[in-house]
Amino acid sequence: MTTPDLANLAPAAVDIPAHDKLGADGATHPPRILILYGSLRPQSYSRKLALEAERLLRHFGAETRVFDPHDLPMLDSVDADHPKVQQLREWSLWSEGQVWVSPERHGTLTAVFKNQIDWLPLEQAGMRPTQGRTLAVMQVCGGSQSFNVVNALRQLGRWMRMVTIPNQSSVPKAWQEFDDNGRMKSSPYYDRVVDVIEELVKFTLLVRDRSEYLTSRYSERKGDLAAATLAEASGAVTAPSVTAIAPAAASPASTSSTEVARPARAACCGTTSSCS
């Protein structure tokens, strides 16, 4: 039976991702997905697409939060303790996956969207608000279809050390694809959005409890050992073993990526994180 709020879905073709279908173990709570969009216009099509994605995510069993970029100051114009900045960072830490939606402006993503990512540090007090989280990228176009924004978002996701899923969505002539109620019309573009959301949920379940292990890097473990050896030589601490620094393979009891604090990295490219 068709869900009234998702009338464009073909029920017989819908597959709800689940742990048993993926052979996944570990935590069984709903996937936690943060959605960011990149426009402040009252009739923002990126916001409409973000809300459409949220409805689908909830249908697939996810818990969602949509960040409103209104009132988020430009980077460095205020201190990081600003309420909107704190909300964005806390929600990113809360998330296991994210959806990024931006309009195309002058061939790339908007300043409104980029400002949100710029407020997310690669590392904060030993925590990494984006590393190891899954990511789906989508864009809306005012004219013919373009992939400039999704390509730029993929590059940005790599820099933020996220697990970007293979699928993506680009909606051309977005003003034709939504009805007067702000709902996306039935079309191949809508079907592609469903594909993206379904894939994001699947990848999020697969990566869950494993992100710390998957994103562990030899170069960083080597640096950690060098720093620990130097600290021991100075009498500050006792150097840990290699096995204490290298994360163990994931297990059902593994700590989630949002709970694991990592050692601080050397300053690089203006951030307190290693360059990706």
104, 130 Cβ separation under 8 angstroms: no
56, 197 Cβ separation under 8 angstroms: yes
φ/ψ bin of 270: left (φ > 0), alpha (ψ from -120 to 50), beta (otherwise): left
Q: For residues 131 and 151, what is the distance between their CA atoms, to the nearest angstrom?
A: 19
The DSSP annotation for 240-253 comes to PPHHHHSPPPP-TT
The per-residue pLDDT for 122 is 86
Q: For residues 79 and 85, what is the distance between their CA atoms, to the nearest angstrom?
A: 9
The per-residue pLDDT for 270 is 42
Q: For residues 266 and 226, what is the distance between their CA atoms, to the nearest angstrom?
A: 12
* Encoded tokens for 267: 């300053």
The DSSP annotation for 161-188 comes to T-EE-S--EEESSGGGSB-TTSPBPSSH
Number of other residues whose CB lies within 10 A of the CB of residue 23: 7
Q: How many CA atoms lie within 13 A of 20 on its CB side?
A: 2
* Encoded tokens for 131: 């590393």
From first to last of its 276 residues, the chain has per-residue pLDDT tens of 557 789 999 988 888 888 777 777 777 899 999 999 999 999 999 999 999 999 999 999 999 999 999 999 999 999 999 999 999 999 999 999 999 999 999 999 999 999 999 999 988 777 788 999 999 999 999 999 999 999 999 999 999 999 999 999 999 999 999 999 999 999 999 999 999 999 999 999 999 888 888 888 888 888 888 888 898 888 776 555 555 455 554 444 344 444 444 444 443 444 444 443
The per-residue pLDDT for 241 is 54
26, 250 Cβ separation under 8 angstroms: yes
Q: Helices 188-207 and 45-59 sit at what angle, rounded to 10 degrees?
A: 60
137, 168 Cβ separation under 8 angstroms: yes
The per-residue pLDDT for 1 is 52
The per-residue pLDDT for 250 is 44
Domains of the chain: 14-210 (3.40.50.360), 213-245 (no CATH)
The per-residue pLDDT for 124 is 76
Q: What's the full length of the chain, in residues?
A: 276
